[in-house]
């Protein structure tokens, strides 16, 4: 699992997955961060062993997150007022594209995603096999997913099959990798959590090639408490539908 | 004429005068001021002759004049909410764009790998805003 950020030409991320230092350099990992001072430092340290370009966007946190980011993140950006996860992702993406990113990765700040999953998705997009790789927690090992969460996410999938006509297994997974072209074409305007639904819609309309990559989500007490519940789900649907009607 | 009618008439007339003054100073648009004056004029007419509302209501198949006013009020309130909501949405979006631009301009780079940092672990400098590309 160890692999040098630069120097060695080919380095293993985990098992059979290898990405070159060049691919790692061209990949900019965008992490929206909101009140994650406890978790985000470890997430950044885990990532920077493999990816030198990490953009953390503090979405107006009030818990010392900004101090952690300033010390740990290769690129730390700050929203002066809280604008929501979708807005923070777009901010990080805008910044990374201006810095010349070849690929954009979305990664969660709470430690629920695994770097080796990201590395596999990055190599897939870098190989040109697809424009967008989406993490899919349901085609891998699903034993760790809490039952309530599973039902909620399944409901979200069903909702999208009806609303966008696109068949994706796991629409609200925050782990994504986009090629530069895809990232330029997909501009998020839904500031809050409805951005995940918005991405699905934009993908369906863009004609970009999508791959779904099996990933494992680490459900800890911490990340579970941070996730969405049913009320949140209905709020997302409301914002999403309003956004659809009012372009 | 009742006390309430006098109160209502003076309030509506003052409103009409205010709107007319603003329109004359071109502080509000012609269409908007015409609409507001029309509404205020209707109010004045109804205040002088309350039975007028009932007469109009009967024409529209509504029993009481107060019901007619209630329906108009509901429509006006719903319309107002929609207008305000749309405006709020636009303002929120503009705020996001602004906050984003500030965040991108004030980005803090923390390049431990870069040669420039030369031992110092934290460098604070605004990142390129893309104008050089």
The parent domain of residue A63 ranges over 10-145+172-189+208-226
Domain membership of residue A5 (yes or no) is no
Q: By CA distance, what is B95's nearest residue in A?
A: A83
Say whether A18 sits in a helix, a strand or coil.
strand
What pLDDT shows up at residue B127? 47
Stretches where chain A sits below pLDDT 50 are 1-17
**Would the CB atoms of B100 and A79 count as touching at under 8 Å?**
yes
Mutation for A interface: B104, B122, B123, most A CBs within 10 A = B104
Is A30 an interface residue toward B (CB < 8 Å)?
A: no
Task: Name chain A contacts of B110, Cβ cutoff 8 Å.
Answer: 70-76
What pLDDT shows up at residue A141? 66
Torsion B123-B128-B132-B133 (CA) sign: positive
**Would the CB atoms of A98 and B113 count as touching at under 8 Å?**
no
Under 8 Å CB-to-CB from A145, ≥6 apart: which residues?
A137, A138, A153, A217, A219
What is the Cα–Cα distance from A216 to A209, expressed in whole angstroms?
A: 22
Q: By CA distance, what is A60's nearest residue in B?
A: B99
Domain membership of residue A59 (yes or no) is yes
What pLDDT shows up at residue A43? 93
Residue B121, both tokens: 């672990």
What pLDDT shows up at residue B111? 63
- List pLDDT tens digits, range B57-89: 999 999 998 999 999 999 999 999 999 999 999
CB pairs under 8 A between A and B: 73
A19-24 contacts at long range (C-beta below 8 A, 24 or more positions apart): A19/A50, A19/A119, A19/A122, A19/A123, A19/A126, A23/A122, A23/A123, A23/A126, A24/A50, A24/A51, A24/A52, A24/A122
Task: Name chain A contacts of B95, Cβ cutoff 8 Å.
Answer: 81, 83
H or E stretch at A78: strand A75-78
Task: Name chain B contacts of A73, Cβ cutoff 8 Å.
Answer: 108, 110
Under 8 Å CB-to-CB from A123, ≥6 apart: which residues?
A17, A18, A19, A23
For residue A179, the domain's CATH number is 3.90.550.10
**Would the CB atoms of B127 and A83 count as touching at under 8 Å?**
no
Query: Per DSSP, what are the bridge partners of residue B26?
Result: none
**Would the CB atoms of A71 and B93 count as touching at under 8 Å?**
no
What is the Cα–Cα distance from A165 to A152, expressed in whole angstroms?
A: 19
- List pLDDT tens digits, range A154-188: 777 777 767 766 777 777 788 999 999 999 988 88
CA quadruple A26, A180, A72, A62: dihedral, nearest 10: 180
Q: What is the mean pLDDT of chain B?
A: 83
Q: Are the C-beta atoms of A175 and A108 separated by less than 8 Å?
A: yes
**Would the CB atoms of B108 and A5 count as touching at under 8 Å?**
no
Tell me the domain boundaries of chain B: 1-49, 66-110
Say whether A241 sits in a helix, a strand or coil.
helix
**What total number of domains does chain A contain?**
1
What pLDDT shows up at residue A142? 67
Radius of gyration of chain B (CA): 29
Is A73 an interface residue toward B (CB < 8 Å)?
A: yes
Say whether B108 sits in a helix, a strand or coil.
strand
Average pLDDT over residues B22-26: 89
Domain membership of residue A126 (yes or no) is yes
What pLDDT shows up at residue A105? 95
Say whether B124 sits in a helix, a strand or coil.
coil
What pLDDT shows up at residue B124? 44
Q: Are the C-beta atoms of A177 and A122 separated by less than 8 Å?
A: yes
Q: What is the ipTM of this complex?
A: 0.78
What is the Cα–Cα distance from B105 to B112, expressed in whole angstroms?
A: 20
Task: Name chain A contacts of B133, Cβ cutoff 8 Å.
Answer: 98, 100
Chain B residues within 8 angstroms (CB to CB) of chain A = 86, 89, 92-93, 95-96, 99-100, 102-104, 106-113, 122, 127-130, 133
């Amino acid at each position: 699992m160890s692999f040098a950020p630069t120097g060695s030409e080919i380095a293993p991320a985990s098992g059979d997955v290898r990405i070159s230092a060049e691919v790692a350099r061209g990949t900019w990992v965008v992490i929206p961060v909101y009140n994650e001072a406890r978790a985000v430092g470890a997430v950044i340290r885990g990532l920077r062993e493999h990816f030198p370009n990490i953009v953390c966007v503090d979405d107006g946190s009030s818990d010392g997150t900004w101090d952690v980011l300033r010390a740990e993140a290769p690129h730390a950006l700050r929203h002066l007022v809280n604008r929501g996860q979708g807005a923070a992702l777009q901010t990080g993406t805008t910044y990374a594209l201006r810095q010349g990113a070849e690929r954009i990765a979305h990664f969660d700040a709470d430690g629920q995603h695994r770097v080796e999953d990201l590395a596999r998705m990055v190599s897939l997009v870098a190989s040109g096999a697809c424009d967008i790789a989406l993490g899919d927690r349901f085609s891998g090992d699903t034993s760790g997913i809490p039952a309530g969460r599973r039902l909620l996410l399944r409901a979200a999938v069903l909702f999208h099959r009806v609303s966008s006509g696109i068949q994706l297994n796991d629409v609200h997974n925050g782990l994504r990798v986009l090629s530069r072209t895809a990232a330029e074409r997909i501009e998020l305007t839904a500031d809050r959590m409805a951005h995940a639904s918005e991405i699905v819609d934009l993908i369906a309309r863009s004609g970009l090639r999508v791959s779904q990559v099996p990933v494992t989500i680490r459900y800890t007490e911490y990340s579970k408490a941070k996730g969405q519940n049913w009320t949140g789900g209905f709020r997302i649907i409301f914002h999403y539908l309003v956004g659809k009607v009012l372009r | 004429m009742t006390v309430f009618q006098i109160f209502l008439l003076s309030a509506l007339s003052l409103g009409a005068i205010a709107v007319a003054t603003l329109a004359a100073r071109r502080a509000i648009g012609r269409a908007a001021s015409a609409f507001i004056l029309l509404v205020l004029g209707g109010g004045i007419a109804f205040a002088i002759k309350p039975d007028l509302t009932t007469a109009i209501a009967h024409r529209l198949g509504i029993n009481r004049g107060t019901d007619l006013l209630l329906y108009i009020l509901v429509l006006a309130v719903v319309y107002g909410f929609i207008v305000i909501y749309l405006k709020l949405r636009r303002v929120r979006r503009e705020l996001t764009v602004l906050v984003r631009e500030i965040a991108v301009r004030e980005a803090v780079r923390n390049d431990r790998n870069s040669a420039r940092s030369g031992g110092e672990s934290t460098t604070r400098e605004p990142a390129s805003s893309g104008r050089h590309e």
